[in-house]
Amino acid sequence: MAATIPPGAAADTGRNGRTGGLGRGRAVADADERATSRTLTDRNVAALARIAAGHAPRRRSCDDRSVPAVARVEPLVTARAVRGPFDYLLPDGCDVGSVVEIPFGRQRLRGVITELAERSEHRLKAPSAVLDVSLPPELVRLALWMADDVVSTRARCLELLLPPDGVGERIRLWAERAGEAAVDPAADDPDAERYPGVRLTANQRALLDRLPGWTGDDLQALRRLEGRGLVTIEPRGHGRRPDHVALGAAAGAPVLNPDQLLAVQRLEDALRGAGGTPGPGEDRFLLHGVTGSGKTEVYLQAAQRALAMGRTALVLVPEIALTPQTVARFRSRLGETVAVLHSGLSKGERRDEWWRLRRGEARICVGPMSTVFAPVSDLGLVIVDEEHDSAYKQDGDPRYDARRVAAWRARENGAVLVVGSATPRPESWNALRRIGLPRRADGGEMPAVRLVDVRGIRTVLQREVHQALTDARKAIVLLNRRGWATWLECADCGHSWECPNCDVSLVLHRGSGVLRCHHCGHVEHPPRQCPACGSVSVGQHGLGTEQLADHLPGHVFRLDADVRDRSGVLQRFQEADHGILVGTQMIAKGHDFPDVELGVVVDADATLRFPDFRSQERTFQLVAQLAGRAGRGGGPSGARASVLVQTRSPEDRALRHAARHDAHGFLVEELERRRQLDYPPFSTLVRVMCEHEDEDRAQAAASVLRERMPEGTLGPVPVFRRQGRFRRQLLLKAAHRGSAVAAVRAAVESVVGTPGARGLVLAVEVDPR
C-alpha cells in the first residue's frame, strides 16, 4: 500500500491530540461503556480489569519532574500526513510499547507509546483505554528504525509488529474432578474401587476417567456431575494451534558429516561469544553450501544449541507453501516450542501463536518474512534460509527487506546471524564471514549441466532435450512465464489485446478460459475475432507454463502462481514414481526430492533480457538452483543426474558459471563488475515512483520532487501505466545510504503535505529488487 494523502488531513487532526483535556471521569466512563457494549475482546477485558482495580488513567501534575508522566503516542493510522508522536497522560503501569486507545480529534484510535517524557507543554488528555497487548521495547525501536530506513511511517511499521486486532482469546470450558471423585484410588492396587463411596453409571465413570479436560460434547452430563459436587467446570483460554502445518514424522537427527560438524561448531562458538562483545562482524555468517549439502541440518542443530543456552531463535524461509519440509523438520525435532507465523493462518491462530512467543511458551519461530517480527525475548540466533530469494523483499509499503531487519535484530540483541544459500547475493558474500559446505550431504555428485544452444531452433524443446525428457523417470522443467500464451495479436491488422488499466498485454489462460492482466487482475473473455478488422485469425504468442505442460511427454505436474494447492502438487510429485514437474521459478526453490534425474531450463535467456543490473545475478541463481534439484538422494553410487539449459547466449558468463556450479567464480567477477560500475553493494539505490491517474499531474509531481531530491537523481522517466495510474520514476544512486535515505525522506515529506499532492501515490523503495 502506498501513501495516499487524504485532503487536509494534517490541518484537521494533526494537533488535536495535544490540546484540551477530558477529565478523568469522562475517560473512564467511555472505556467502561465500550467495554460492556461489545463482546469481550482483549482490549475490553483489560480496560475493565484496570477500572475494577482502580487503575484508571490518573491525571498527574505535568511539572512533576522526577517521574515520567507523559506518554508519547503514535496513533495507528495509515495516512502519511498524520505524524506523531502526540502527548497524553501516562496511565499507571504503562511503558514504552504499551498499546492504548486515545481520543484523537473526533475519533478514537489505537496507538503505541513510543517514548516517555517528564513533562509536556500541552494540557493533556488521558488515553481512553489501555489494551492488554504490548510490544517489547526492542520491537518499538525496530519500528522506529524501520520507518526511517525504508521511508515509511512509524504507524505502518508498528502495525506490522502487533498481533491481529479485533480477535480475542478463545474461551472454552474446562472440567476437573472434585470432591469425593478427586480422591485417587491407591495406585498400586488395581482392584481398588476407583471412586469409593460414589454411585456412578458406567458412562459417568468413563467421563470422570477422562478428566481433567475440555467439556466438549459432554457438557450436559458433566453439569449433572458438577451438581453433585463431583466435578468443577470453569472457563479457560484455549489456544488455537495451526495444526494444518504438518508435524511430519519424528525423524531422528542424522550423523553430521565433518563439514556440517565444523559449521555447527563455529556457530556454537559464536553463540557462546554472542551477548558478550565480539569484534565487528564476528557473529554474522554466510553459510555457503552447495545445493543438497544439508544446510537445514546445520540450522536445526545450531537452533537446538541456542535453545539449550536459554536463548530464542528465528528461522526465516522464503515462502511457507513451498517450504513445508523445513517447517515440518523443525516442528518434528523441536516440538511445541516451535511457533509458526504466516498469513495462511486464521486471525485467531496468529494471535495465539504471537502470544505463545510473547509469553515465552514458544521459543523459536519458523516462517516467512514476517517471522522476523516475532515478539521473542533473549534472541540468540537469527537464520535466513535461501537468503538470495527475492521473496524477502516486501512489495507494499513499508517496503522492508526481511534480511536487513534480521541483521538489525541480531545486532540489537547480540545474537548470531546466519544467512544460507547455494547462490548467495554479492552483498552477503562481501560482508559476512563465510562457512562452506562444499559437498552434497548424501555423498552424491553434483549433476552435470550442459548449455544447449537453441539459436535457429523453432520447436519449444530441442530434439535432444525432448528425448531426454521422454527417457527420464522423474524430471523438473523450468519456464518462468505462466499462462497459455503471453500475448495475442491479430494476424491481419496487428491489433493486440491490452489491459485497459495497464500498458501491458493480456495473457491467455486456457484452463480458466480468460485473458488476464498479471498486474491488476483485470479479466475478459478471449476474442473470437479482431475488434479492429473483424479477422478471425488471432495469433497466440509467447509460451507459458500452461501450454508447455501440454507439450511434455508423460505424466505432468504443474506448479505456478495460478495453482492453488501448491504444497499438494509438490507432495504428489514427490510421491509419484515417475513424471515431470513443470513450472515457474517456484519449482527451483529449496525442494528436496530424492529421485529427480533430469532438470531442464526451457528459456534461460528470459531473465538475462531484463534491463537491470541484477539480471546476471538472477540468471545465475535461477539456473544453479534448478540444477540443484536434480540428482539428490542418490548417494555416492547413484547414477549422475543431468541438467540441460536451452539458451541463445551459450557464452554468457552467468550461465557458464552456473553450469560449473561455480558460485565463487561468479561472485568474484560480479563483484568486480559492480565495483567498476558503482552498483550495490558499493552504492545504494533509492527509487521513487510518482503515480497519478492524470498523466500531467504524475509528471508535474515528479518534476517538483526531482528538484528537492539530492543531486544526481535521474528522471523522471516514464514507466508503463499500471492499475489505472500513470507512473514516473526517479532513481538515486548514492555512496552513503543513511544520508541519501534521509534526503529522499525529506523531499517526499515536503511534497506530501501540499495541495498538488492530492490523488498522488508516492512509492519509495530503498534497494529495489
Q: What is the DSSP string of 370-433?
A: GGGG---SSEEEEEESSTT-GGGB-SSSS--BHHHHHHHHHHHHT-EEEEEESS--HHHHHHSE
Report which of 634, 569, 622 is spatially closest to residue 597, judged by C-alpha positions: 634
Which part of the chain contacts Zn ion (CB under 5 A), choosing from 205-213, 450-458, 495-503, 593-601? 495-503
Residue 605's CB: how many other CB atoms inside 10 A? 17
Rg (CA), the chain: 30
Smallest distance from ligand ATP to CB 293, Å: 4
Which part of the chain contacts Zn ion (CB under 5 A), choosing from 276-284, 520-528, 614-622, 709-717? 520-528
499 near Zn ion, judged by CB under 5 A: yes
296 near ligand ATP, judged by CB under 6 A: yes
Which part of the chain contacts ligand ATP (CB under 6 A), choosing from 23-31, 252-260, 474-482, 676-684? 252-260
> Which 699-718 residues touch ligand ATP, going by CB under 6 A?
none
Give whichever of 638 and 753 is closer to ligand ATP, judged by the CB atom.
638
Q: Tell me how far CA of residue 340 lies from CA of 129, 369, 736, in angstroms.
A: 30, 11, 37
Residue with cell string 537491470 = 612
- Alpha-carbon distance 593 to 554, whole Å? 19
Give whichever of 252 and 456 is closer to ligand ATP, judged by the CB atom.
252
**Residue 410 grid cell:** 541480531
Q: Which does 291 bind (CB under 5 to 8 A by kind): Zn ion, ligand ATP, none?
A: ligand ATP
Give whichever of 32 and 442 is closer to ligand ATP, judged by the CB atom.
442
- Alpha-carbon distance 545 to 526, whole Å? 18
Smallest distance from Zn ion to CB 491, Å: 24
Binding mask 537-576 for ligand ATP (x = CB under 6 A): ----------------------------------------
Q: Tell me how far CA of residue 152 lies from CA of 7, 13, 124, 736, in angstroms.
A: 19, 20, 28, 19
Q: Which does 519 bind (CB under 5 to 8 A by kind): ligand ATP, Zn ion, none?
A: Zn ion
| Residue 94 is labelled as binding a ligand | no
Q: Give the residue, chosen from 117, 182, 198, 520, that forms a contact with Zn ion under the rule CB under 5 A.
A: 520
Give whichever of 505 and 607 is closer to Zn ion, judged by the CB atom.
505
Q: What backbone phi and psi angles, to 5 degrees, belong to 306?
A: -60, -45
| Residue 157 is labelled as binding a ligand | no
Report which of 477, 452, 449 is spatially closest to residue 648, judged by C-alpha positions: 452
- Alpha-carbon distance 216 to 261, whole Å? 48
519 near Zn ion, judged by CB under 5 A: yes
Q: Three-state secondary structure along 667-713?
A: HHHHHHHHHHHCCCCCCEEEEEEEEECCHHHHHHHHHHHHHHCCCCC
Binding mask 254-283 for ligand ATP (x = CB under 6 A): xxxx--x-----------------------
| Residue 62 is labelled as binding a ligand | no
Give whichever of 259 and 652 is closer to ligand ATP, judged by the CB atom.
259
| Residue 365 is labelled as binding a ligand | no
Give whichever of 300 and 606 is closer to ligand ATP, judged by the CB atom.
300
Q: Which residues pair with 314 in a beta bridge?
A: 365, 382
| Own/partner long-range contacts of 76-80 (Cβ < 8 Å, ≥24 apart) | 76/109, 76/110, 76/111, 76/112, 76/155, 76/158, 76/159, 77/109, 77/155, 78/1, 78/153, 78/155, 78/156, 79/3, 79/4, 79/5, 79/6, 79/9, 80/3, 80/5, 80/153, 80/749, 80/752
44 near ligand ATP, judged by CB under 6 A: no
Smallest distance from Zn ion to CB 512, Å: 16
Q: Which does 502 bind (CB under 5 to 8 A by kind): Zn ion, ligand ATP, none?
A: Zn ion
Reading across the β-sheet that carries 556-559, which strands appear in turn? 448-453, 642-647, 598-601, 474-478, 579-583, 556-559
Q: Tell me how far CA of residue 576 lies from CA of 232, 292, 474, 569, in angstroms.
A: 52, 21, 9, 10
Smallest distance from ligand ATP to CB 253, Å: 9
Give whichever of 443 and 738 is closer to ligand ATP, judged by the CB atom.
443
Q: Which does 733 bind (CB under 5 to 8 A by kind): Zn ion, ligand ATP, none?
A: none
**What number of CA atoms fall less than 13 Å from residue 409's CA on the CB side?**
35
Q: Give the residue, chosen from 134, 153, 204, 291, that forms a contact with ligand ATP under the rule CB under 6 A.
A: 291
The alpha carbon dihedral of 155, 156, 159, 161 has a sign of negative
Which part of the chain contacts Zn ion (CB under 5 A), choosing from 21-29, 347-355, 499-507, 742-750? 499-507
| Residue 690 is labelled as binding a ligand | no
Give whichever of 305 and 692 is closer to Zn ion, judged by the CB atom.
692
Which part of the chain contacts ligand ATP (CB under 6 A), choosing from 159-167, 253-261, 556-564, 597-605? 253-261
Q: Give the residue, chosen from 422, 461, 645, 761, that forms a contact with ligand ATP under the rule CB under 6 A.
A: 422
Determine contact, residues 168/42, Cβ cutoff 8 Å. Answer: yes
Question: Residue 98: CB partners within 8 Å, gap ≥ 6?
Answer: 71, 91, 112, 113, 130, 131, 134
Give whichever of 59 and 519 is closer to Zn ion, judged by the CB atom.
519
Length of the chain in terms of residues written = 769
Which part of the chain contacts ligand ATP (CB under 6 A), choosing from 186-194, 285-293, 540-548, 722-730? 285-293
Give whichever of 444 and 716 is closer to ligand ATP, judged by the CB atom.
444
729 near ligand ATP, judged by CB under 6 A: no
Binding mask 588-627 for ligand ATP (x = CB under 6 A): --x-x-----------------------------------
Residue with cell string 563488475 = 673
Interface residues with Zn ion (CB under 5 A)?
A: 499, 501-502, 517, 519-520, 522
Give the residue numbers of the binding site for Zn(2+).
490, 493, 499, 502, 517, 520, 530, 533
Give the residue numbers of the binding site.
490, 493, 499, 502, 517, 520, 530, 533
Interface residues with ligand ATP (CB under 6 A)?
A: 254-257, 260, 289, 291-297, 422, 441-442, 590, 592, 628
